[in-house]
Amino acid sequence: MKRIVIIIISFLYFSHLFAQIVFESAEDASIFAVINSVNYTLRKQNAVSSLEVANLSIQDFLPKFDISWTEADNIRFGGADSRNKTLSMNMQMTVFDAGKKYISYKMNQAEKSSDLYSVDIETANFKSSVISQYYSCLLLEKTLEVKKDLEQNTKKQLEIIEREVALGLALENDYLEYLISYRKIQDSVKILERNLRTQYRVFKVILGLEPEAAILLKENILDLDEYFYLEPYSTSLWQLLKSRSLELRRQETSLYYSQLQNKQNKLLLIPDISFQGGISFSGGNYPLNNPSYSAKLVFSFPNNPFLPASISTDFGFNNKGQLTGSTNAVSSNIVPQLNYKAAIDMQNIELKQKKQSIKDSVNSMYENLFQQIASYDDSIDNIERIKETVDLQNKRLIISEKQVEKGTLKRIDYLKQLEELAEQKISLLESITSFHELTRTLEIALDLPFGGLKQCLNIK
């Protein structure tokens, strides 16, 4: 939380002072994008508030009270006027419902928890897309630097060969061939510059910024910590993924909801028993001192699919506790649900489908995780191999430069070596960028903070 506050303050300060937004890492960009997204912010707030409301929705477990007061004055012509005042207080509470209200309460909680997981999953996917766009921009920037460096070196050699042609020390055909290659390099630089501008526009859109906003990415992707392979920790990572996967938690919550719903359907034939008690005071003048009492026991089958009915017995008592009357009543709304069995069968099938879906998700997660681990470890090997190749090409280039000065190597061949070295440097940048993106993807899938992969595996 402290880091988020620092990012916001820094953004507000530097955007005001320099009209430029600086991101030190992909983490900063993803946090900024989520904070700056009104949609994700409101959806998160709504999901959290809905779950809080669901947790506090305990009114169905509490007794219900109501108070009423009436005052009636009747005027009779030719007779005595009459006045009647009544104060009534009633209480109603459920005595027994076989846990149906509690199940409904837990179902509501499960539903809102599932909604919150869905928002968190969408936010995590959004962060992944921001990170992908971030590294696309960074890769294009670094690639452009390599290409511009190649263009500059090529231009120096072009100026030399131009002088050599003027002095008759080089063939014009060699000069033209070199010039064609140089123009191609210039074109590739222009294309990269255009692609970079386009990529930055895409990046600004996903960040929620205006197209005119200035952005600076300061992360040095070449400055890496010591590499470590993940294959030796594959079992630990799998256990961690199973325990922290947001998608798996969401599916398990959805399954729990269906299990509660299935359990609730089996309780439809069990009656709800409720007690209603009341006391009323009546009289012509205050204070009212003529109390009467009532007690009512209700057996109801409100969701019975065949014959929803309500059976009640009502007793009345005077202020001396003497029974003054009783009433028995039965009411029913005869609207049988002819599709009841088919609906139950369908819910049972859906329950089995959700169980199977979780199994399929676990298998898919297992396969994807080990593919990511393999890609992660392969990227390390690839980085080391390309680094070695770049070192060898740099050494060869030093020798080739001396050969060019001696005239034993054509400048066009030297240019090809420069281009090969540039391509290897770009390949190295692509591998390192891919490594960073794989690391962030794994951390998001494991619901870890940025940079938490190494700490969670206790790697020193």
- Which residues, 6+ apart, have CB-to-CB distance to 235 below 8 Å? none
Question: 230 to each of 235, 282, 367, 383, 438, how far by Cα in Å?
Answer: 10, 82, 15, 15, 12
Beta strands of 301-423 (E only): which ranges?
309-318, 323-332
> Do the Cβ atoms of 122 and 128 come closer than 8 Å?
no
> How far apart, in whole angstroms, are the C-alpha atoms of residue 358 and residue 384?
39
Classify residue 23 by burial, with Cβ atoms within 10 Å: 0-12, 13-18, 19+.
buried
pLDDT above 90 coverage of the chain, percent: 49
Bridge partners of 267?
A: none
Model pLDDT, residue 126:
94
Residue 80 has pLDDT above 70, yes or no: no
Instruction: Say if pTM beats, i.e. exceeds, 0.75.
Output: yes
Model pLDDT, residue 16:
42
Buried b (16+ CB within 10 A) or exposed e, 411-423: beebbebbbebbe
Q: Higher pLDDT residue, 286 or 254?
A: 254
Q: Higher pLDDT residue, 371 or 85?
A: 371
> How far apart, in whole angstroms, are the C-alpha atoms of residue 75 and residue 81?
5
Question: 84 to each of 80, 186, 320, how far by Cα in Å?
Answer: 13, 102, 21
Q: What is the mean pLDDT of residues 413-424?
A: 93
Report DSSP letters for 49-88, one per residue. HHHHHHHH--GGGS-EEEEEEEEEEE--TTS--EEEEEEE
Model pLDDT, residue 17:
42
Model pLDDT, residue 15:
45
Phi and psi of 340, rounded to 5°? -60, -50
Q: Which of 76-85, 193-202, 297-306, 423-432 has the least mean pLDDT? A: 76-85
Vertex 103: Cα angle to 102 and 105 (nearest 5): 65
Q: 13 falls in which pLDDT band (50, 70, 90)?
A: very low
Alpha helices for 208-245 (secondary structure H): 234-244
Model pLDDT, residue 336:
65
Q: What is the pLDDT of residues 136-156, one digit of tens each?
A: 999 999 999 999 999 999 999
First to last CA, the chain: 26
Every domain of the chain and the residues it spans: 22-56+97-268+303-456
The conformation of residue 209, written as its DSSP 8-state character, comes to: -
Q: What is the mean pLDDT of residues 234-250?
A: 92
Bridge partners of 216?
A: 22
Model pLDDT, residue 225:
65
| Six token digits for residue 393 | 């090409």
> Do the Cβ atoms of 373 and 230 come closer than 8 Å?
yes
Residue 95 has pLDDT above 50, yes or no: yes
Model pLDDT, residue 1:
47
> Do the Cβ atoms of 437 and 453 come closer than 8 Å?
no
Model pLDDT, residue 458:
75
Phi and psi of 89, rounded to 5°? -130, 130
> Do the Cβ atoms of 275 and 87 come closer than 8 Å?
no
Q: What is the mean pLDDT of residues 117-130?
A: 94
> How far apart, in whole angstroms, are the C-alpha atoms of residue 266 and residue 75?
58
Q: 264 falls in which pLDDT band (50, 70, 90)?
A: confident
Closest-CA residue to 98 (of 266, 270, 256): 270
Model pLDDT, residue 6:
47
The Cβ-side half-sphere exposure at 423, using a 13 Å CA radius, reads 7
| Six token digits for residue 316 | 């009345």
- Residue where the block lists tokens 């003027």: 166
- Residue where the block lists tokens 């057996």: 299
Q: Return the SS3 of 323.
A: strand
Model pLDDT, residue 5:
46
Residue 174 has pLDDT above 50, yes or no: yes
Q: What is the pLDDT of residues 306-330, one digit of tens each?
A: 767 777 778 777 777 777 777 887 7
Q: What is the pLDDT of residues 20-70, one digit of tens each?
A: 899 999 999 999 999 999 999 999 999 999 999 999 999 888 899 888 888
Phi and psi of 363, rounded to 5°? -65, -40
Closest-CA residue to 300 (of 288, 287, 313, 289): 313
Selected from 2.60.40.10, 3.60.15.10, 1.20.1600.10, 3.40.50.300, the CATH number assigned to the domain covering 22-56+97-268+303-456 reads 1.20.1600.10
Beta strands of 97-213 (E only): which ranges?
none
> How far apart, in whole angstroms, are the C-alpha atoms of residue 405 and residue 414?
11
**Helices and strands (H and E) in the chain: how many:** 10, 8
